[in-house]
Amino acid sequence: MSLLDIRGVSKHFGGIRAIEDISFSLKSSTIMSIIGPNGAGKTTLFNCLTGFIKPTKGTIVFAGTDISGFSADRVTRLGIARTFQNIRLFGGMTVIENVMVAQHATIRSNLFSIITRTGTFKETERSVRETAYEYLEFMGLESAAEHTAGSLPYGAQRRLEIARTLATGASLILLDEPTAGMNPLETDGMMQMIKNIREMGKTVIIIEHDMKFVMGISDRIVVLDHGVKIAEGMPKEIKNNPLVIEAYLGKEAH
């Protein structure tokens, strides 16, 4: 059974059709890439999937629940977490606090236990901190745990954003251009990390422009152009698809 089922999703802004009638489905523990030229509607699709915008038409079924129209925080609590194209960290909080915020929905402390500092509360807080630290280790950020998030170098900020999505406990992770602005060495490291995330049993969807990266990591690729899905398949199939080549190189290349 598939983890995610997108059926006929469209989003119109006024008269502009940002995405039109997009359908695909995704199995657990796979990595899918969404590629396409600028303005193809990739980020709009992400925003629809994560509840930041409501699709005009269509349904999104995640793990058996129709989540179309749910609010962003509810979608996250159901198990889809994302990163942002232009990194959105809690800049004034420390690195570890960023990851602790992400565990918000996984813990249940009420006002009474917080104020009286019950044993359970202290235990929960300790485990939140430990879990946060584990995710930081996983993304290679443990040495920066007490630094302010806003002071991290760019690549580390991207990794922290991913650590945060993992800490939400989500089973589907959406990464919006995870290697943007990284050097080749950092990109290779990122590729390994994303593969590790798949090994954890999570499912990943990536928006990415770096073709070498996409071809090297994806189990499946969806290609969008002008808001429409023009191809879907294994990396090898996509590489030789004439429609894809045309979308990327433009008609004048013929």
Partner 1 sequence: MTAVPRYFSRTLLRSSIISLWSAVLFLPFKGLQASLMLFGVLFLLILLLTLAGTWVSPRLTMAAAVRERMHRHLPADRRYLLLFLLPALGVPFIAQNYIIDVAVLAGIYIILALGLNVVVGYTGLLNLGFVAYYAIGAYSFALLNTRLGLGFWSAMPVAVVITTLAGFLFAVPALRLKGDYLALVTLGFGEIVRITLNNWDSFTNGPNGIGSISAPTFVGISLVTLSAYYYLVLFFVLVAIVVIGRVQRSRIGRAWIALREDEIAASAMGVPSTMYKLYAVSFGAFWAGIAGCLFAAKMRFISPESFTFMESVLILCMVILGGLGSIGGVIVGAVILVILPEILREVQMYRMLALGAGIVLLMIFRPQGLFGGRVVSSRH
Partner 2 sequence: MLLQQLINGLTLGSVYALIALGYTMVYGILELINFAHGEIYMLGAYLGIIILGFLTAVGLTAYSMPLALALTLLLTIIFSASYGFTVEKIAYRPLRAAPKLSPLISAIGVSIFLQNYVMITQGSTDKVFPSLIGSAGFTVLSTRVTMLQAAIIVVSGIIMALLHAFIRSTRTGKAMRAVAQDRSMAALVGINTDTIISVTFIIGSGLAAIAGLMVSMYYGLVNYFIGYSAGIKAFTAAVLGGIGNIPGAMFGGILLGLIESLGAAYISSEYKDAYAFIILIVILLVRPTGLLGRDVEEKI
Site for partner 1, rule CB under 8 A: 50, 52, 71-74, 76-77, 81-82, 84, 88-93, 97, 100-105, 107, 109, 111, 114-115, 117, 121, 125, 128, 164, 168
Position 83 contacts partner 2 (CB under 8 A): no
Could you tell me which residues come within 8 angstroms of residue 64 by beta carbon, excluding any fewer than 6 positions away? Answer: none
DSSP codes, 38-96 = TTSSHHHHHHHHTTSS--SEEEEEETTEE-TT--HHHHHHHTEEE--SS----TTSBHH
Determine which residue in the list 10, 33, 47, 179 makes contact with partner 2, applying CB under 8 A: 47
Position 248 contacts partner 2 (CB under 8 A): no
Query: Kind of pairing, strands 4-13 and 16-26?
Result: antiparallel
Question: Given the rule CB under 8 A, which of 45-53, 139-147, 149-157, 207-215 is the region that contacts partner 2?
Answer: 45-53
**Residue 105 binding partner per list partner 2, partner 1, none, with a CB distance cut-off of 5 to 8 Å that depends on partner kind:** partner 1
Nearer to partner 1, 167 or 224 (CB): 167
Specify the DSSP element, H or E, that contains 233.
strand 228-233
What values do phi and psi take at 213, rounded to 5?
A: -60, -50
Q: How many residues bind partner 2 (CB under 8 A)?
A: 5
**Residue 90 binding partner per list partner 2, partner 1, none, with a CB distance cut-off of 5 to 8 Å that depends on partner kind:** partner 1
Q: Determine the Cα–Cα distance for residues 31 and 214; give it in Å rounded to an integer.
A: 10
Position 84 contacts partner 2 (CB under 8 A): yes
Q: Which sign does the torsion angle of CA 238, 239, 241, 244 carry?
A: positive
In the complex, minimum distance from the CB of residue 168 to partner 2, in angstroms, rounded to a whole number = 18
**Residue 193 binding partner per list partner 2, partner 1, none, with a CB distance cut-off of 5 to 8 Å that depends on partner kind:** none
**Residues forming the site for partner 2 (CB under 8 A):** 43, 47, 52-53, 84
